[in-house]
């Protein structure tokens, strides 16, 4: 009897959505995509989020030679014997480090690779200094001044090269749009439109590099620099968990599928739509909800998206490649 009911339900869903069971034809926020995901009664809920594309597709790049270089920094702790806690949240462990709980907004620029990487650098600088250096480093400097890192707001850039820039050149302070610090973010954040959906002013124009601090800032550009001393490529779930628990949040490059844009709550797993490119996010912890293991993630699409800018994604099965290309570094004090 149960088998017959299941077959009937599958037929109804198939008839209702047609090709949508493998649906590459949904818009980001179409009612069909939302209804389809929610009809599956899966681990997450979809909702009408964006008016259109947030930015150019993808944004987090990995050149073959860059990948080879990162593999030489590979850290594999898969054989480590540690009794990991069921729940870990970096915001709770290091509550005095403001950057960990801060959701940045990359706006209409394909800058996830810089925004989330620099956010991780800021977190780790605070953690390693025992909270004495509580600043937000400038994603704007990396986007504008790291020529090796960046292909522009329309095409994206490289996470590992951002770490290399941090080590070689250092990065000044400067957090959110028109915020505090030497070199604040200049790209307008997304906003909630009158319809209740998120709207963004897309840009392909990368801000020009400048080697001076904002007017009125109390340090010069050289004095305000903070440097890194190494970066690592973490391999496997245990390696990632151990590094987060020891040193703080890490950067993960995930496959950005069409349905992620409509994520509203729950534990994300890819259900429908084609891959749009890679997207960099910040892993800040992990947990388990009703038997489903997840990573706790900070995104860079502002606080209107997801769970006030955060989301969860399935852990332990390399969902959307979340455990495949994970990078981190340590600050130089």
Report the b/e string of 178-202 with b at 16+ CB within 10 A: eeebbbbbebebbeeeeeeebbbeb
How far apart (Å, rounded) are the C-alpha atoms in residues 101 and 87?
Answer: 17
State yes or no: pLDDT of 303 exceeds 80: yes
For the chain, the average pLDDT equals 86
Beta bridge partners of 74: 233
Determine whether 299 is an active site residue.
Answer: yes
Q: Note the pLDDT tens digit of each residue in 186-207.
A: 999 988 877 777 878 878 788 8
Pairing of strands 88-89, 275-289: antiparallel
Q: Give the CA distances from residue 291 to residues 43, 288, 294, 307, in Å, rounded to whole numbers and listed in that order.
A: 11, 6, 10, 20
Question: What are the residues whose beta carbons fall under 8 Å from the beta carbon of 24, sequence distance 6 or more?
Answer: 258, 273, 274
Q: Is the pLDDT of residue 19 over 60?
A: no
* Residue 238 to residues 78, 81, 244, Cα–Cα distance (Å): 5, 9, 10
54-58, 135-139, 316-320: lowest mean pLDDT where? 54-58
Does the pLDDT of residue 86 top 90, yes or no?
Answer: yes
Residue-level pLDDT at 61: 74
Query: Would you say how long the chain is, in residues?
Result: 333
Catalytic one among 109, 112, 153, 182? 112
Q: Is 112 considered catalytic here?
A: yes
pLDDT for 10 equals 38
Please give the CATH number for the structural domain made up of 23-327: 3.90.70.10
Check 109, 190, 233, 279 and give the catalytic one.
279
Query: Does the pLDDT of residue 65 top 80, yes or no?
Result: no
In angstroms, the CA 313 to CA 305 distance is 15
Angle at 94 (CA atoms; ends 264, 332), nearest 5 degrees: 110
Q: How far apart are CA 62 and CA 45, in angstroms?
A: 30
- Looking at per-residue pLDDT, the higher value among 261 and 102 belongs to 102
pLDDT at 118 over 90: yes
Q: Is 64 exposed, middle or buried (0-12, 13-18, 19+ CB in 10 A)?
A: exposed
> Per mean pLDDT, which range of 41-45, 174-178, 278-282 is the poorest?
174-178
For residue 73, what pLDDT is reported?
67
> So where are the chain's domains?
23-327
Q: What average pLDDT does the segment 19-43 reach? A: 72
Catalytic choice (116, 150, 299, 325): 299
At 52 the pLDDT is: 56
Instruction: Reply yes or no on whether the pLDDT at 154 is more than 50.
Output: yes
Query: Is residue 279 annotated as a catalytic residue, yes or no?
Result: yes
Backbone angles phi, psi at 232, to 5 degrees: -130, 155
**Could you tell me the pLDDT band of residue 14, with boundaries at 50, 70 and 90?**
very low
């Amino acid at each position: 009897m149960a088998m017959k009911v299941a077959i009937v339900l599958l037929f109804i869903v198939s008839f209702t959505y047609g090709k949508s069971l493998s649906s590459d034809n949904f818009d980001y926020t179409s009612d069909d995509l939302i209804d389809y995901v929610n009809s599956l009664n899966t681990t997450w809920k979809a909702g009408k989020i964006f008016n259109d594309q947030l930015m150019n597709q993808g944004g987090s790049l990995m050149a073959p030679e860059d990948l080879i270089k990162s593999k030489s920094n590979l850290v594999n702790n898969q054989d480590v014997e540690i009794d990991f806690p069921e729940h870990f949240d970096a915001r709770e462990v290091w509550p005095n480090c403001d950057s960990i709980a801060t959701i940045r907004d990359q706006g209409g620029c394909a800058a996830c690779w810089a925004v989330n990487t620099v956010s991780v650098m800021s977190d780790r600088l605070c953690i390693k200094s025992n909270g004495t250096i509580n600043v937000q480093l400038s994603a704007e400097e990396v986007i504008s001044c790291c020529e090796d890192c960046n292909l522009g707001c329309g095409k994206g850039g490289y996470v590992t090269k951002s770490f290399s820039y941090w080590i070689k050149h250092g990065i000044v302070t400067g957090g959110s749009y028109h915020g505090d610090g030497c070199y604040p973010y200049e790209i307008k954040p997304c906003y909630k439109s009158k319809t209740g959906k998120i709207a963004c002013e897309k840009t392909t124009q990368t801000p020009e590099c400048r080697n001076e601090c904002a007017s009125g800032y109390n340090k010069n550009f050289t004095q305000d620099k903070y440097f890194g001393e190494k970066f690592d490529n973490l391999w496997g779930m245990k390696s990632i968990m151990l590094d987060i628990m020891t040193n703080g949040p890490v950067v993960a490059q995930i496959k950005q599928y069409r349905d992620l844009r409509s994520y509203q709550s729950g534990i994300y797993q890819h259900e429908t739509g084609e891959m749009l490119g890679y997207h960099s996010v910040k892993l800040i912890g992990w947990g388990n909800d009703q038997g489903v293991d997840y990573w706790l993630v900070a995104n860079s699409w502002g606080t209107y998206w997801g769970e006030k800018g955060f989301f969860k994604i399935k852990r332990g099965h390399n969902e959307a490649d979340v455990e495949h290309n994970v990078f981190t570094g340590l600050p130089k004090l």
